[in-house]
Amino acid sequence: MHAPKSEPHHWTRLPATEAGDAIVAAMALGGVDHLFFISGSEIMFFQEAIAKAQAHGRTAPKLITITHEYAGLNAALGYAAVTGRPAATAAHVDVGTQHYGCALHTAWWAGLPILIMAGAPPSAYPGTMRGGRDGAHFWLQQTLDQNGIARAYTKWDHRLEYQDNPGLIVSRALQVAQSQPSGPVYLSLPREIAVMPTSDACFPSCGRLAVARPSAPDPDGIRTIAERLVKARNPYVVVSRSGKNAATVPALVELCELTAMPVVDGGNRTYQCFPFGHWLYQGSAKLADADLVIVLDADVPWPPESPPPRDAYVAVVGADSVTAMIPTFEFCADLRLNSDPLNAIKALTEALRQLGPPTGDLLEERTKRWKNASTERHSRLRAEALALATKTPIDPAWLAFQICEALDYNCIMIDDTLSHNPLSRFLKSSRPGSYFRNPGSGGGWGPGAALGAKLGAPGRDVVTVTGDGFYMYSAASACLMAARRYNAPYMTVVFQNRSYSTGTRATASFYPDGYSVRSGLEGGYFDPIDFAKEAEAAGAYGENVRDPAEVAPALQRGLAKIRSGIPAVISVWLPRHLQTT
Query: What's the CA gap between 208 and 218, in Å, rounded?
Result: 28
- Whole-number mean pLDDT of the chain? 95
In a domain? residue 342 = yes
State what percent of residues in the chain have pLDDT above 90. 90
In a domain? residue 379 = no
Query: What's the CA gap between 226 and 220, in Å, rounded?
Result: 10
330 half-sphere exposure, CB direction, 13 A CA radius? 3
461 by DSSP, 3-state: which? Answer: strand
For range 337-355, the mean pLDDT: 97
What pLDDT score was predicted for residue 71? 98
263 by DSSP, 3-state: which? Answer: strand
Pair (251, 202) in one structural domain: no
CB 267 within 8 A of CB 298: yes
Please, which residues bridge with residue 492 across strands?
464, 569
In a domain? residue 320 = yes
Query: Which of the four pLDDT bands, split at 50, 70 and 90, describes residue 4?
Result: low
In the predicted structure, residue 1 carries a pLDDT above the cut 90 = no
Pair (237, 187) in one structural domain: no
In a domain? residue 7 = no
Query: What's the CA gap between 294 and 134, in Å, rounded?
Result: 59
Report the domain count for the chain: 3
Q: Give the Cα-Cα-Cα angle 326, 329, 332 (nearest 5 degrees).
A: 140
Q: Name the pTM for this structure.
A: 0.96
What pLDDT score was predicted for residue 303? 87
Pair (198, 245) in one structural domain: no
Residue 87 sits in a domain of what CATH number? 3.40.50.970
In a domain? residue 569 = yes
In a domain? residue 70 = yes
In b/e form, how buried is each residue of 182-212, taking b as 16+ CB within 10 angstroms?
bbbbbbbbbbbbbbbebeebbbbbbeebebe
What pLDDT score was predicted for residue 7? 67
Pair (191, 226) in one structural domain: no
Pair (255, 202) in one structural domain: no
What pLDDT score was predicted for residue 323? 94
Query: Which of the four pLDDT bands, split at 50, 70 and 90, describes residue 3?
Result: low
Pair (186, 250) in one structural domain: no
**What are 269-282's pLDDT values in tens digits?**
899 999 999 999 99
The last residue of one of the domains, among 314, 346, 374, is 374
What pLDDT score was predicted for residue 358? 85
Q: Is 284 exposed, middle or buried (0-12, 13-18, 19+ CB in 10 A)?
A: middle
The last residue of one of the domains, among 188, 209, 230, is 209
The last residue of one of the domains, among 209, 235, 260, is 209
Pair (369, 494) in one structural domain: no
Residue 341 sits in a domain of what CATH number? 3.40.50.1220
For the chain, the first-to-last Cα distance in angstroms comes to 66
Pair (200, 95) in one structural domain: yes
Pair (194, 243) in one structural domain: no
Pair (108, 134) in one structural domain: yes
Query: What's the CA gap between 415 and 436, in Å, rounded?
Result: 6
For range 415-436, the mean pLDDT: 93
**What are 114-165's pLDDT values in tens digits?**
999 999 998 888 888 888 888 888 888 899 999 999 999 999 999 999 999 9
Range of the domain at 176: 12-209
Q: Give the total residue count for the chain.
A: 581
Pair (104, 37) in one structural domain: yes
